[in-house]
Structure 1
Amino acid sequence: MNAQPGTTQGRAVVLGGSIAGLFAARVLSESYAEVLVVDRDRLTGVKEPRRGVPQGRHVHGLLSRGQQILEGLFPGLTDELAEDGAARGDVGHDVRWYMNGERLRPNRSGLVALTSRRPFLERHVRERVLALPAVTFLEECDILRLQASPDRGRVTGVWVLRQAPGSTEELLEADLIVDTTGRGSRTPAWLEELGYPRVEEAKHRIGLGYTTRHYRIGPDFYGDDMAVNYVASPSLPRGLIVSKVDGDRSVVTAYGILGDQPPTDHEGFLAFVESLDVPGVHAALLAAEPLDELVAYRFPANLRRHYERLPRFPEGLLVMGDAVCSFNPSYAQGMTVSALSALALRDHLTESGGLPDPLGYFKRLAADAIDGPWAMSIGGDLAFPGVEGERTPEILAGHAHLARVQAAAVHDEEVSEALTRVIGLVDGPDALLAPALMAALDRHDGRAGR
């Protein structure tokens, strides 16, 4: 195969073909002559949830920053998704946001909201990746172990076993391997087997449980809107998302923290929804047509693997996506952080000439993609009294300021827009401390105190 201009004459192998793996393959195709994506599932032509994505039946959100990166990596894909049935609108104006039980004031943020089922989005991204000349897929293939150089200083390949009867183990040699196999990644164990230190892990228990069903809901419920997002709060640690998705359907996901799992029977689920008192939702579901069975999923804890803190790491191996950091899914950060990680990978490969320095990559990944969302997620979780963890003075001050912002966003469009941009990872939390915003908060406080 002839390399594209600027690429190296080498092969990169991506372990895992979900969203993070697809983003990785896209940017690797700019630096490597051949990119091979390996996954245990069948990928091509798949339109429904896969075994390897057990949460694939539930609501998924691509935050505003993720949508921007998606469009940058795959120009025209936003229009393609909308034309094929995804809902599209303004994330500040066409989504009904509820925080602390009150609806935020709609705002014209200019940020694109796209809502669809996870398999729908993944299929469209996968088709774009498959169209890249450098990329091929090796499907229905189990990943066994790594192959390293005699001194164990470099990973040189990966051993796999095709699931077809009569297959034998085979070695896929590679100049670079990127592990995107998710939360259950075996890289920590593989590293120890090669004599490397154990990677430090941070876990923050949240005990999140959510239950999902798809419905056909009458258009009167939405009006001109596309979704309802009722965010769990310390006073009521339950949440709900109702969203238009592809196929003229709606996905309804209810969730609770600290073991408050929404029921999986029809009456119990509707009672859970009713407890939230979101205007119009319970009545709409009573009249809606259920399209499938209720399914549940549990997420016990946020998990982060601090590869950037290791003193040494083998060359020829990188890790990305949930295999590095797995977030509380109620904040919808996962796919967007994978998109940010792809940009971090691209930047590192550009600077290194396609020959990555693993520890340099992990430090960039932490700074550019993970640190900010991780702090937001953990800080948000610690607002709930039952969640264990240290509440530093900085975190408590952040909670107080965010509560002030949310209260003002109910009435003030400028504050609502600023909050929308931070939630969407377009702006960092410091944007909520900008002088103009602080002045708006002071004005709101003055009116509220009268």
Structure 2
Amino acid sequence: MRSGIGARAVVLGGSITGLFAAAALAPSYREVVIVDRDRLVGVREWRRGAPQTRHINGLLARGHQALEELFPGITEEMADDGIPFSDLSGTVRWYFYGKRLQQLRGGLSCVAATRPMLEYHVRRRVEAMANVTFLEECDVVGLTTSPDRARVTGARIHRRKADSNARRKAETAEEVIEADLVIDTTGRGSRSPKWLVELGYQRVEEQGTKVGIGYASRHYKLTTDPFGKDHSINPVASPTLPRGAIFTKTDSGMVELTTYGILGDHPPTDPEGFNAFVKTLAAPEIHEAISVAEPIDDIALFKFPTTMWRRYDLMETLPERLLIMGDAVCTPNPVYAQAQSLSALEALALRERLSAGRAPDTPEFQRAVADIIRPAWEMTTAVDLGFPGVEGERTPKVRMMHVFSRLLHDAATRDGRFTAAFMRVAGLVDPPTALQRPGLVLRVLRDAVGVRLSRFLARRRGGSA
């Protein structure tokens, strides 16, 4: 264990990003403290402080690889606990523009755990690290800094304790946790932008796209088998039908259904309306299955109005010894399931910098985080702009991508190799530029020409008859 960088690192936020960060920090600091407003240790249920835990939270293929790098052997542990794994291009049944893609195993393993179960397994690994402690049921109220405000020296917190009626939580006096490094992983609601302004730094620029997504989730015990050899059935929203879903096998013998609509077309939360919404999807087998399945819980709705990227990488100055990661920096469109995987990659970037034996340089690290985010952000933002009602600039590059994507997905309905190529990019294994390789572009164009030629010849033969 390396412990020469500092005495204590403090992680604000104990969700999945905070756990990934703690794992990266533990070899380099004598003590790592995770602060969170919820009770965490031993929890296997939905957490009030993380409302999205009621919904599907995917860990994509590259995210799964990063998870195994951070916690060697965790895949086997989760599998032993009944958590299934799927192949993104081989055992996931995809529908694009209402058409089913051909499948081909591509070695793109994805974790199909519910969010609470994934957190539980990762947290258990972090708990086993002797120098990591959890400070639960605490509110973070601010940062402490050096007199010149050039360096963060800790965090100010309030512990919450039960009052005499044992029904509510009352705040204790403010405490300061001193730290050699503070990492903000508190999610989209992060108050770092406000704290930085109060410390005299510039306001961070925010970018985003109004997508108006609402998604509703429910869990079931099935009485029929719509999956066959597959693990998941995913009809993807398209401009012609801006509704989609992820219907997947998950832990505890359950199936998890999250269905969504774009630009305000949100699923109802009453069972009849929810089922009617699902019936409109491109994959009829989902509605057929849930109509006779046993619901395990009520329908939960989550609204996501805009994507968001806080551009800390563009700030002129930042205080030393403060890093910001995960959703506190960027919350991409959730239907692409990128957030957890990006957090895992950011944790690997943190671990790499700590391996040099010194605390990361804040501006350099935030630029590295931006480099991780950028390819995924640009790709999914371009996809969002394929919906006519989404506001944003449709450059010639974006329009060309829309045309090529449509051709690629059409080719994938006939050949699983195209599905695998696309899913390697969607799974963050390959960069988006992989779809611009001349060989792939040529094969897609050849497929499109071949289809059109076949249709032309068929019409000629029909006319001759």
1:437 aligns with 2:423: no
Number of residues of Structure 1 aligned to a counterpart in Structure 2: 445
Is 2:272 the counterpart of 1:275?
no
2:48 is matched by which residue type in structure 1? R
User: Any residues of structure 2 matched to 1:305-384 within 5 Å, and which?
Assistant: 305-351=310-356, 353-367=357-371, 369-384=372-387
Q: Could you list the structure 1 runs, at least 4 aligned residues long, displaced by more than 3 angstroms after superposition.
A: none
Letter of the structure 1 residue corresponding to residue 223 of structure 2: G
What amino acid does structure 1 have at the position aligned with 2:306? A
1:418 maps to 421
1:146 equivalent in alignment to 2:143: yes
Deviation at 1:6, TM superposition (A): 5.9
Whole-Å separation in 2 of the counterparts to 1:401 and 1:394:
11
Deviations for 1:253-279, whole angstroms, at most 9, x for unmatched residues?
Answer: 110000001011111111111111413
Q: For residues 99 and 277 of structure 1, what CA distance do their matches in structure 2 show?
A: 8
Shift of 1:343: 1.5
**Which residue of 2 is the match for residue 99 of structure 1?**
96
Partner SS for 1:335: helix
- Between the aligned partners of 1:396 and 1:92, the Cα distance in structure 2 is 26
Once residues 290 and 132 of structure 2 are traced to their aligned partners in structure 1, the CA distance between those partners, rounded to angstroms, is 44
Structure ID, larger Rg: 2
CA contact (8 A) 2:224 2:293 kept: no
Q: Distance in 2 between matches of 1:446 and 1:240?
A: 31
Q: Distance in 2 between matches of 1:403 and 1:7?
A: 53
Amino acid at match of 2:60: L
Question: Of 406, 412, 424, which aligns to 1:403?
Answer: 406
CA shift at 1:186, angstroms? Answer: 0.4
**Distance between the aligned counterparts of 1:219 and 1:286, measured in 2?**
10
Match of 2:165 in 1: none
| TM-score (norm. length: structure 1) | 0.97
Of the three residues 442, 445, 449, the one matched with 1:446 is 449
Deviation at 1:32, TM superposition (A): 1.4
Correspondence for 2:388: 385
Equivalent residue of 1:387, what SS? Answer: coil
Task: Please give the alpha-carbon distance, in whole angstroms, between the structure 2 residues aligned to 1:85 and 1:325.
Answer: 31
1:30 aligned onto 2:24:
no
The answer to whether the 8 Å contact 1:348/1:364 transfers is no
Q: Report matched runs for 1:244-323 at 5 Å.
A: 244-323=249-328
Aligned counterparts of 1:348 and 1:218: Cα–Cα separation in 2 = 50
In structure 1, distance between residues paired with 2:99 and 2:216: 23
Letter in 2 for 1:211: A
* C-alpha separation in 2, matches of 1:219 and 1:285: 9
Aligned to 2:114: 117
Unaligned runs of 5+ in 1: none
Corresponding residue to 2:16 among 8, 15, 19 = 19
Residues 1:428 and 2:428 are matched in the alignment: no
Q: Which stretch of the first structure deviates more once superposed, 438-447 or 181-190? A: 438-447
Whether the aligned pair in 2 keeps the contact of 1:32 and 1:354 (CA below 8 Å) is no
In 1: Cα distance, 2:284 partner to 2:148 partner: 64
8 Å contact kept, 2:154–2:177: yes
Distance in structure 2 (CA, Å) of the matches to 1:339 and 1:386: 32
Q: Which moved more, 1:261-270 or 1:271-280?
A: 271-280
How far 1:446 sits from its partner (Å)? 2.5
RMSD of the TM alignment (CA)? 1.2
Query: For residue 460 of structure 2, what is the aligned residue in structure 1?
Result: none
Deviation of 1:64 (Å): 0.4
Q: Pick closer, same or farther for the CA change 1:399–1:7 going to 2, 3 Å.
A: farther
